[in-house]
Copies of this chain bind each other. A is one copy, B any other.
Amino acid sequence: MIKPSIPSGTRDFGTTDMLKRNYIFNTIKQNFELFGYSPIETPAMEKITTLTGKYGDEGDQLIFKILNSRIHESKQKDILLNEFKASLEFSKNSEELTEKALRYDLTVPFARYVVMNQHNLTFPFKRYQIQPVWRADRPQKGRYREFFQCDADVIGSDSLINELELINLMDKCFAELKIPVTLKFNNRKILSAIAQLINEPNKIVEITVAIDKLDKIGVDGVNKELQNSGVNPKAIEQLQPLINFKGNNLEKVSVLAQMLNNIEIGLKGIEEINFILNYFSEKNLKHILLELDITLARGLTYYTGTIFEAKANAGNLTSSILGGGRYDDLTGIFGLKNMSGVGISFGIDRIFDVMNELNVYPNSVNQISTTQLMFAHFGNDELTYCLNLANELRQQNINCEVYPDLAKIKKQFDFANKKQIPYVCVIGSEEMQSQLYTLKNLASGEQEKLSLNQIIQKLK
C-alpha cells in the first residue's frame, strides 16, 4: 500500500482555509459587480494552439500539456513515435500527441472568448473571471503549480476613465480586506520612449524584462542582464539615472518631461500619467498608496499603456499581490484588431498568505465549522425526534447537525467541542414531553431552557 500524496506544488484546502479563501473571493467578487463587471468562465483545457507563443519561450515551457487519449488505439503508431522523438529533441508541440493544455492565465482565454463571441457581446465589455490556472514552475514558498487568478478587464474602450475606476476598485477591495498596499504604476509608453532615447528601439522587450527585475536582482543584476541581451554599453550608461530614479510622483513626472520632451510617445505617456495623478490629487484614495515607479515594467509583452503592480506591506513580507495594465491589441493575436483594453489580476493565493500573516479576518470567518448548533441525544427515539427539530431550524436558515450515532453524551460533546460548534442541545425523553430544550453555549458554559421558537430567535 503506497501512502497517498498529492503532486508537488498543489494543495488541499480544509474547511478552515476554505472559509477564509471564500471570504476573499466574495469580497473581490462583490466589488467587481459593484463596478459593473459581469462573470464569465472558460474551460480549464484550451487547445494548445491557443496558448503557445503567447507567454514567451519561458512561459511556453511552463504550460501543462494533456496527452491525447486512446493513443494506444491509433492506427498511426509510427507517426506518433516519430512525433514523440521530435518532441524529445526539440521540445516542439505535436498535436498528434497533445492537442490540449491547461490554461496558464485568464487573459489569453479571455481574449479567445472575446474573439469567438464578438458578435454577441456589447462593447465596451467588462468581465470578471475567478478560476484556477496551472504552471509547471519549480514549486517554492508562495509559488504554486495550481493557483487562482481573479481578473477584471474592460475591452473595447481606450478611455483612461477605466484606469481611474480600476484604481478606485483596488482601493475599495484592499480597504475591505484590511491589507496595507502600495500600488505602483507606470506607463509602457515611457519605456518605449526611453528605448528610443537611448537608440535601442528594438530592444524594448529586453530592457523592460531586465528593469522589471530591479527589486529582485538589484542594479548590478539589471545591468548584467541588459549587457547579456545585447544592449550597447552607451545605452546602458544612459539608462542609469532612470534605474536610480528617486523623488515623489510629481518630481518624477517633471524629470521625465525634461528627459523625453522630444519624443512623441513619451509625451503621450506623460499625459496619461498626469491624467491619473491629477484625478487622485483631488480625490483622495482611502487606503492604498499610489506610487509612480519608472522601473516597473511587468514582464508580459502585450501591455502598451498604464501598468499596475500592488505590493502588500505585511510584516517582513513585501509580496506582489496584484498586477495589470492596458493592452492595445490583445485580441489581435486571434484576428480581432484595434480593441484596446485594460485589466487587473488579484493574486488570491498571495493575498491569502498575507492575510494569514496579518490575521485580519473578521471573527465570522475565523471558524473551523459552519454549524451553529448540534443536537445530542440519549437513544433511538430521541435521534429521530432530533431530525425533525433540525429540519425546523433549517427552514429558518440555521445551520445545524444531529450527531448521527448512538453514543455516550460525553462523546457527543467531545465531537462538538473539537468542531467548535457554538451551541449544543441535548434531547432526552423529558425534553420530548415538555418541548422545552436546554441550549448550551459551549464557549461560556451558560445554558438556558427554551422553546424551539426561542432557540430560533436566539440563533437567527
| Interface presence of A50 (CB below 8 A) | yes
Cross-chain contact B168 with A391 (CB below 8 angstroms) = yes
The listed residue (B12, B81, B387) touching A113 by CB distance below 8 A is B12
A1 to B120: give the CA distance in the assembly, Å: 21
Q: How many residues of A contact B (CB 8 A)?
A: 112
| Interface presence of A150 (CB below 8 A) | no
Instruction: Kindly provide the distance from the CB of A421 to the nearest chain B CB, expressed in whole angstroms.
Output: 9
Interface residues of A in 30-47 (CB under 8 A from B): 30-31, 33-36, 38-47
A69 to B66: give the CA distance in the assembly, Å: 10
A291 to B159: give the CA distance in the assembly, Å: 61
A406 to B158: give the CA distance in the assembly, Å: 10
A371 to B122: give the CA distance in the assembly, Å: 14
Closest B residue to A171 by CB, please name it.
B391
A5 to B47: give the CA distance in the assembly, Å: 7
Closest B residue to A11 by CB, please name it.
B43
Interface residues of A in 188-235 (CB under 8 A from B): none
The listed residue (B1, B67, B401) touching A335 by CB distance below 8 A is B1
Cross-chain contact B18 with A387 (CB below 8 angstroms) = no
Q: Which residues of B contact A80 (CB under 8 A)?
A: 88
Cross-chain contact A18 with B5 (CB below 8 angstroms) = no
Cross-chain contact B69 with A41 (CB below 8 angstroms) = no
Q: Could you mark each residue 58-95 of chain A with 1 if its beta carbon is under 8 Å from any beta carbon of chain B, else 0? A: 00011011110111101001001100110111110000
10 contacts between A and B (CB under 8 A): A12-B116, A14-B40, A15-B40, A18-B40, A36-B374, A36-B401, A44-B44, A45-B146, A67-B98, A77-B88
